Structures are given as structure tokens and as C-alpha cells.
Structure 1
Amino acid sequence: MPKNNTNLETQKSHVPTEPDSSLKGTLIFTMFVGLFIVGSWSAIFFLFLNRM
């Protein structure tokens, strides 16, 4: 039967991590790109409807 080495498990689970970075800028940029795509599509669609 294998022995449980709790000291080794404790050392493995303690991994230093970097602090979480803020994703606020990513969210804002993604929303801007999404609004640009929707706005462009709407403008082209209404231009199409006007020319029918």
C-alpha cells in the first residue's frame, strides 16, 4: 500500500500565482467593436432599403 506523503502534497499545492489582471479594457473594446459592427450593418441595411 502506498504511503501518503502529505508534506509533498502541501508543497505541490502551494504554487505562487500572479495577481489577476483587470479585463475592463477588454470588455470596453469588445463592446466598441460589437457596436461598430451592428452600426455598420444597420447603415448598409437601411441604405439597401432606401434604394429598393
Structure 2
Amino acid sequence: MAKNNTNLETKKGYVPTESDSSLKGTLIFTMLVGLFIVGSWSAIFYLFLNRM
């Protein structure tokens, strides 16, 4: 009897997609959103201290 040599990834239903390629854009966008949040918080805190 011949052994079935199918790929294990195919057996598990794994289909490679483009999302497996690179997450560099996601990292940059997340950093920009974080900088925006920190900048906004700092500006509001600065206004709070000036009005005290």
C-alpha cells in the first residue's frame, strides 16, 4: 500500500493568504494612532494646568 504524502497544512485546511506577508504597515499605523492619543492627552493636560 502506498502512503498518502499530502501536505499537513492542506490537511488542516490552511490556505496561505496575503495577510501572512508583512505587518509593517499595521505597526506604523498603530504607532501613529498611539502618538495621536498621547499628543491629544498632553495638550488637554497642558490646558488643564494653565487654567488652574
Q: Deviations over 1:1-52 (max 9, x none)?
A: xxxxxx35x4261426426221000000000000000000000001000000
- Structure 2's unaligned 5+ residue stretches are none
Task: Give the RMSD, CA atoms, in angstroms.
Answer: 2.1
Aligned CA distance change for structure 1 residues 49 and 21 (closer, same or farther; 3 Å) = same
> Which of structure 1's runs of 4+ aligned residues deviate more than 3 A?
none
Q: Which one has the largest radius of gyration? A: 1
The percent identity for this pair of structures is 69
Question: Aligned ranges for residues 1-52 of structure 1 at < 5 Å?
Answer: 7-8=3-4, 10-11=5-6, 13-15=8-10, 17-18=15-16, 20-52=20-52
- TM-score for the superposition, normalised by structure 1: 0.69
Using structure 2 for the length normalisation, give the TM-score: 0.69
